[in-house]
Amino acid sequence: MASLQNSPSLHRSLFFNSLPQPHSHVAPAFSCCSRRPSSLLVRADASVSPDRPGRRQMLAVGLILPSVTLLSQNSVSFAAESKKGFIPVFDKKDGYTFFYPFGWQEVTIEGQDKVFKDVIEPLESVSVNVIPTNKEDIKEFGSPQEIGETLIKKVLAPPNQKTKLLEAKERVVDGKTYYTIEFVAKAPTYTRHALSTISIANGKFYTLTTGANERRWGKMKDKLKTVVESFTLSNV
């Protein structure tokens, strides 16, 4: 576990997973700090009432074009397996796939490979981080409980937030081991209930994290569990 706890690159790269920044704006599509252009620019302004008539419908219409683009880039078989209410992501370069809820928008955050979030409920998001590793299996870092405790205290939440690990478990898909952890991170003005799944393949350490405000957990938990369970890796 010492190698995981003392990995500066892991800490720097994954720290932003738990910084939802409720009043932040989407970075410009061609910002000098952006890793890739955003498919559609959206201003996530918390001052606009989420109850404004037609707002979600307008956002849904705005997502049709980038959604079609995403699907056209994926294989036919993967698209055929799409779940109702979710949009598939297939990253051929880094070798991972997952689903995210329809209505979330892709945004650009430095240090993250991909980020999708709800522009009305900014704590509802999913992010993927990929960093190099010389390990070949996630088990080399320890048990799900050990890694879960380390990640939520050192990486997945800011040091001023109080964290609690709720569950840590293991799953195996096509011979690859994945650890999934459930935790809460309490900030002064909100509590985020989150799920993360981590694994190793292709000489890389993958982390997918999704979550929501604790007050909306009951409504969102099934969707968020679908997101983490859909995350799979392939050899590239």
Q: pLDDT tens digits for the chain (236 residues)?
A: 545 655 544 554 444 443 444 433 333 332 333 344 333 333 334 333 344 444 444 444 444 444 434 443 444 344 435 689 999 999 999 999 999 999 999 999 998 999 999 999 999 999 999 999 999 999 999 999 999 999 999 999 998 999 999 999 999 999 999 999 999 999 999 999 999 999 999 999 999 999 999 999 999 999 999 999 999 999 99
Give the span between the Cα atoms of 6 and 221, in whole angstroms.
Answer: 32
Question: What's the pLDDT score for residue 17?
Answer: 43
Q: Using alpha carbons only, what angle is made at residue 42 by residues 37 and 43, rounded to the nearest 5 degrees?
A: 125
pTM, entire model: 0.70
Q: Using alpha carbons only, what angle is made at residue 155 by residues 234 and 165, rounded to the nearest 5 degrees?
A: 90
The helix/strand/coil state of 211 is strand
Which CATH entry fits the domain spanning 86-233: 3.40.920.10, 3.40.1000.10, 3.40.640.10, 3.40.50.2300? 3.40.1000.10
Question: What's the pLDDT score for residue 22?
Answer: 41
The helix/strand/coil state of 191 is strand
Q: Please check whether residue 205 is in contact with residue 135, taking contact to mean a CB–CB distance below 8 angstroms.
A: yes
Question: What's the pLDDT score for residue 101?
Answer: 97
